[in-house]
Structure 1
Amino acid sequence: MTTFHELFGHAPTGEWAAPGRVNLIGEHTDYNLGFVLPIALPQTVRARARRRDDGRLRLYSAQGDGRVAELAVADLAPGTVAGWAGYPAAVVWALRQAGHPVGGADLLLDSDVPTGAGLSSSAALECAVASAYNDLYGLGLAAQDLAVVAQQAENRFVGVPCGVMDQMASMCGRAGTALHLDARDLSIRHVPFDLASAGLRLLVIDTRTRHDLADGAYAALRAGCERAAALLDLPALRDVPPSGLDPALGRLPAELRPLVRHVVTENERVRRAVALLDAGDPAGLGPVLTAGHASLRDDYRVSCPETDLAVEAALSAGALGARMTGGGFGGSAIALVAVGAADETAAAVAAAFRRAGYPEPGLVHAIASAGARRVS
């Protein structure tokens, strides 16, 4: 790999890492200001960085085209930076928009978070850069504050109207726990998530079907949810109580009812999942995961044939539960399996993909890991 010194002519000040994430339950509820339950992954984006005082931002990605992108920090604005470089540039822009007088830096970025797999590679990139800038410029921002900056970078600079879950999971994850996030007030609680002691594993199935949340589909879903909340005269769909779901649906046009039904029932699935983990029953998550996939497939309609097949094949092989994870329209599925059945489940999914003529899926075991941190 090309070294930092070879690229920039000097050594980095330090290295920062931020993880990708898997969401266990609560998909598409965070921008409705509901509840989510993700874990941070061992796979990370790593940023070697050094501050510059000439207002230049120089960026190099080990997964890129071999060229250094050089930008003027003062000229950063939405729509001015295309491709992967737009994500780190967005973070610098968002910090300046928030009133932090940050300038340039040299950044060498490397990642083992699969891109397009629904595992939040973009949020990991944003959070690695935000963490580096926080230290390089002595900003003293808390992890939650950096997560909000990273979300604003993606919303306002990149143009993806995502919620804050991905960035919060990347910044605030903790080993051995799932992150119970209230997206309205950003309060968090680390819920025990020790699958190994229960004889379980969480299998991540990357379908190799890539999605692009900036293509408008994600934005259309969010707009539909916001329209429904406005018609119900509520701040957000989170404010529809389960007992009031049927009356609420009766006040909405037919095309909005499935979206609302998914959000309200998914928030309840988060509450159920947290109760199970608090009670020391991670195996009980299985049916909750599977019910969540059915809702995402039938009501929210963000699944696809590849993720549906991954879920079906895993369940047929004996998984306790399975569902898609991420924004949808491709990406990954997760399956909760007994340790002794993990290899058999993985083989069954791979065989089902071969029979369907799909590319060989990527298969990894997800372990709840630490969030963003300085590593050197």
Structure 2
Amino acid sequence: MTSTPDAPAVSALSGLFESTFGSAPDGVWQAPGRVNLIGEHTDYNEGFVLPFAIDKTAKVAVRIRHDSRVRLLSTFGEQGLVEADVDMLVPEAAKGWTKYPLGVAWALQQRGILVPGFDLLMDSDVPLGAGLSSSHAIECAVISALNELTGAGLGAEDMVLATQRAENDFVGAPTGIMDQSASLRGSKGHAVFLDCRDQSVQLVPFDAQEAGLVLLVIDTKVSHSHADGGYASRRVSCELGAQVLGVPALRDVGIGDLEEASGLLDSTTFRRVRHIVTENDRVLQTVERLTTDGPAHIGRLLDASHASMRDDFEISCPELDLAVETSRAHGAIGARMTGGGFGGSAIALTPVGHEQDVRDAVVRAFAAAGFTTPDIFTVTPAAGATRLA
């Protein structure tokens, strides 16, 4: 089996798989969720992002079958056992969490890879709907398993593109490549500086603990979905902006071009464009500061990123704004919402000595506002997808 700290969880998942499906799995794979340190909505604009894989993962136990039948079960038990035929997968037909593994199988088929039937049992401790990419964690665990079990031999870059196609064309969510890249290519103690135009990756040191800091995640409990209209409409605005400005993507617009752009675009489209352009610049500045000065010097960039998402891209919400403002007021050196927006989580980079002050203040502020009590926890940069057994 395995002698890692995951051994008990692997053993439990394998045992449950065997009791459910009648024999042991061919293996167990895991893939992490992610936190995006900075760089929001820049990925599908061929820009720059700086996420990192977190120490919360989705695990899948998988066994290949000798027919086309697929049987899927989650430890959450919310859907029970779901069955499908791998040769009859239809985009956007699957429901709940099963659309993610089925979407991966479908996307591999679109690449000409023969995918047989399989049994799969999934467990995850990535919070759902929190903007930490629980869906991509499932997809990356599944594609890691199927890539190995089918002998497809895809590299990380191709697995990223396959899972993006699963999201875009099967699930129906117009996401970019950031989440999959962090989950598949993450490294312990590092953030993943990703150029979304050519998929090149640079691992950037990000050790908050060594700098006397913790990164708090504040899950507002406001659920969001990338498959809804808000995310899609922001993408349409960005594509319109690029078209009017005559560039392949907003990646090609610089800070110095914004004055001219303001005269060519309607006010809403201009604000969307301004967020992307300035956010790309903030990512580059954050990478430089982490490389030369360390995590204690990126707080103002996190603050500016949140203001841009709140005011220019308009993807925040009252709960996220309250989490960010309260964190700053009680000791955080920088805070911002993270993820696609319209709910989910905020992050607060906080000195160790102020961690409890921030936690207590945010809980009090949410109670006073009549909001649902948030979940608050720390995350650290972790390794990417891997086989556990």
TM-score range, shorter chain: over 0.9
Equivalent residue in structure 2 for 1:352, among 349, 362, 365: 365
Q: Which amino acid aligns with 1:71?
A: A
Q: Which amino acid aligns with 2:187?
A: R
Q: Give distance in 2, aligned partners of 1:220 and 1:226.
A: 10
Q: Which amino acid aligns with 1:70?
A: E
Alignment partner of 1:226 is 2:239: yes
SS at structure 1 position matched to 2:227: helix
1:177–1:368 CA contact under 8 A, matched in 2: yes
Alignment partner of 1:8 is 2:21: yes
Q: Which amino acid aligns with 2:196?
A: A
Equivalent residue in structure 2 for 1:132, among 139, 142, 145: 145
Equivalent residue in structure 2 for 1:331, among 344, 358, 361: 344
Match of 1:44 in 2: 57
Match of 1:251 in 2: 264
Equivalent residue in structure 2 for 1:181, among 178, 182, 194: 194
Q: 1:343 Cα shift?
A: 1.3
What runs of 5+ residues in structure 1 fail to find an aligned partner? none
1:86-143, Cα deviation, whole Å (9 max, x unpaired): 1110000000001111111110000000010000001001101000101111111112
1:284-318, Cα deviation, whole Å (9 max, x unpaired): 11000000000000000000000000000000001
Matched residues, percent identical?
A: 53
Match of 1:237 in 2: 250
**TM-score, normalised via structure 1 length:** 0.98
Q: Which amino acid aligns with 1:19?
A: P
Q: Which amino acid aligns with 1:211?
A: H
Q: Give distance in 1, aligned partners of 2:209 and 2:300.
A: 19
* Mapping of residues 48-63 of structure 1, within 5 Å: 48-63=61-76
Q: Give distance in 2, aligned partners of 1:172 and 1:343.
A: 32
SS at structure 2 position matched to 1:190: strand
Match of 2:109 in 1: 96
Q: Give distance in 2, aligned partners of 1:223 and 1:151.
A: 18
Alignment partner of 1:190 is 2:203: yes
2:206–2:294 CA contact under 8 A, matched in 1: no
Alignment partner of 1:107 is 2:113: no
What runs of 5+ residues in structure 2 fail to find an aligned partner? 1-11
Consecutive aligned runs of 4 or more in structure 1 exceeding 6 Å deviation: none
Single out whichever of 188-197 and 2-11 deviates more from structure 2.
2-11
* Mapping of residues 135-284 of structure 1, within 5 Å: 135-284=148-297
Q: Which amino acid aligns with 2:74?
A: S
Q: Which amino acid aligns with 1:192?
A: P
1:276–1:282 CA contact under 8 A, matched in 2: yes
Q: Give distance in 1, aligned partners of 2:294 and 2:124.
A: 34
* Mapping of residues 63-102 of structure 1, within 5 Å: 63-65=76-78, 67-102=80-115
1:249–1:260 CA contact under 8 A, matched in 2: no
SS at structure 2 position matched to 1:234: coil
SS at structure 1 position matched to 2:305: helix
SS at structure 2 position matched to 1:67: coil
SS at structure 2 position matched to 1:209: coil
SS at structure 1 position matched to 2:170: helix
SS at structure 2 position matched to 1:204: strand
Alignment partner of 1:367 is 2:380: yes
1:235-278, Cα deviation, whole Å (9 max, x unpaired): 00110011112112221122201000000000000000000011
Q: Give distance in 1, aligned partners of 2:307 and 2:317.
A: 12
Single out whichever of 350-359 and 321-330 deviates more from structure 2.
350-359
SS at structure 1 position matched to 2:97: coil
Please report the RMSD computed on the Cα atoms of aligned residues, expressed in angstroms: 1.0
